[in-house]
Amino acid sequence: MIFPSRLCEGDTIGIIAPAGPVDLEDIKKGIPFFENLGLCVQLGQHVDNVYGYLAGTDKERLEDFHDMVVDPNIKAIIFARGGYGTARFVPSINYEWVRRNPKIIWGYSDITYLHTAIRQQTGLVTFHGPMVASDIAKPHFDYFSATMFNQLFQPTCLIYSEYLSPLCAHYPGETAGQLVGGNLSLLISTLGTPFEIDTKDKILVIEDIGEEPYRVDSMLNQLKLSGKLREARGIVIGDFANAESKLNHSLTIEEVFHDYFSNIGIPVMGGFKIGHCYPHFAVPLGAYAKLSTYNKQLVIDPGVK
């Protein structure tokens, strides 16, 4: 794996919108957070463009990404929000540029597609964490979520235990491997493409928002039938916000998890505050991790060097 260099005080980060359109005022509300960390901020040329449900055309959004990648003054790329759109320009990314200019790449939700493509094409560790307009600019952005950015300034071993949230073992065991995954619906959308998620011998993280139990069932079934669950070494179930069913008769989300994971044969643990939630535990994807249902811990190696 390729590990990006840590941030230092005075470094410049770039903010771009690779998916849905963003209100520039929301980005401006988030900028002081980074300035208080001792960082300078540079906005992408097209960051506030609007092209229907996209933040500019594919060409414009790709241009902003490439500009940030090749600019030696930019030490990290932090995304403004998710939504939809990163998958549209993923085939056109110059992955050699990314490989030659390894830097921190941070975001989640629709960014899952970008994380997966970049990691599997270049070996670069990227970060699944809260974004500028959709999280940092909001009044409910909490202190703990803010502290997760500290891992970018110093190589830090992350330890998730029940000090943060109750954890539930769906299948017992201990395992170790590279941490991969992210938003479940985005992972499903990679299947059958050149950027299909590789789960072999990996610890797979899944999370989502606004998906009813039958939809989560459908997506887990697709992962199962495609062999992705069987190939994994372990599964980390993050937050599934707003998963209440609108049907008169429905399984609960926990019953769905029980159906798929209670006899899976690899360690599976749920309850992690990873995803569309607060606090938001940010993790380096591609880093080495250890999962134990016995002591209820997820331990992740540093994502920067």
Residue 72 placed within a domain: yes
For residue 145, what are its two tokens?
């979520």
The predicted structure's pLDDT at residue 244: 86
The predicted structure's pLDDT at residue 243: 86
The predicted structure's pLDDT at residue 88: 98
Instruction: Report CA-CA distances (Å) from 20 to 16, 104, 110, 134, 136.
Output: 11, 21, 9, 11, 16
Q: How far apart are CA 93 and CA 107, in angstroms?
A: 17
226 and 291, same domain (yes or no): yes
169 and 135, same domain (yes or no): no
288 and 217, same domain (yes or no): yes
225 and 168, same domain (yes or no): yes
Greatest distance between any 2 Cα atoms in the chain: 56
The predicted structure's pLDDT at residue 72: 98
Closest CA to 254 of 174, 169, 188: 169
Q: Within 132-252, where are the H helices?
A: 143-147, 184-190, 213-225, 228-231
Residue 191 placed within a domain: yes
* CATH number of the domain to which 285 belongs: 3.50.30.60
105 and 175, same domain (yes or no): no
What's the number of domains the chain is made of? 2
The predicted structure's pLDDT at residue 169: 97
Residue 153 placed within a domain: no
Domain region containing 174: 158-300
- pTM over 0.95, yes/no: yes
The SS3 assignment for 159 reads: strand
Residue 152 placed within a domain: no
Positions annotated as catalytic residues are 109, 207, 276
131 and 253, same domain (yes or no): no
Helix (H) or strand (E) holding 88: helix 86-89
Q: Which of 125, 147, 169 is the last residue of a domain?
A: 147
Q: How far apart are CA 27 and CA 79, in angstroms?
A: 10
The predicted structure's pLDDT at residue 200: 98
295 and 199, same domain (yes or no): yes
pLDDT by residue for the chain (305 residues), tens only, comes to 999 999 999 999 999 999 999 999 999 999 999 999 999 999 999 999 999 999 999 999 999 999 999 999 999 999 999 999 999 999 999 999 999 999 999 999 999 999 999 999 999 999 999 999 999 999 999 999 999 999 999 999 999 999 999 999 999 999 999 999 999 999 999 999 999 999 999 999 999 999 999 999 999 999 999 999 999 999 999 999 998 888 888 999 999 999 999 999 999 999 999 999 999 999 999 999 999 999 999 999 999 99
Q: Which of 126, 147, 168 is the last residue of a domain?
A: 147
The predicted structure's pLDDT at residue 264: 98
39 and 93, same domain (yes or no): yes
108 and 239, same domain (yes or no): no
273 and 166, same domain (yes or no): yes
* CATH number of the domain to which 63 belongs: 3.40.50.10740
70 and 17, same domain (yes or no): yes
Residue type for 204, please? L
The predicted structure's pLDDT at residue 245: 84
Residue 305 placed within a domain: no
The SS3 assignment for 194 reads: coil
133 and 170, same domain (yes or no): no
Contact 250, 259 (CB under 8 A): no
Q: Within 152-227, where are the H helices?
A: 184-190, 213-225
The SS3 assignment for 126 reads: strand
The predicted structure's pLDDT at residue 246: 84
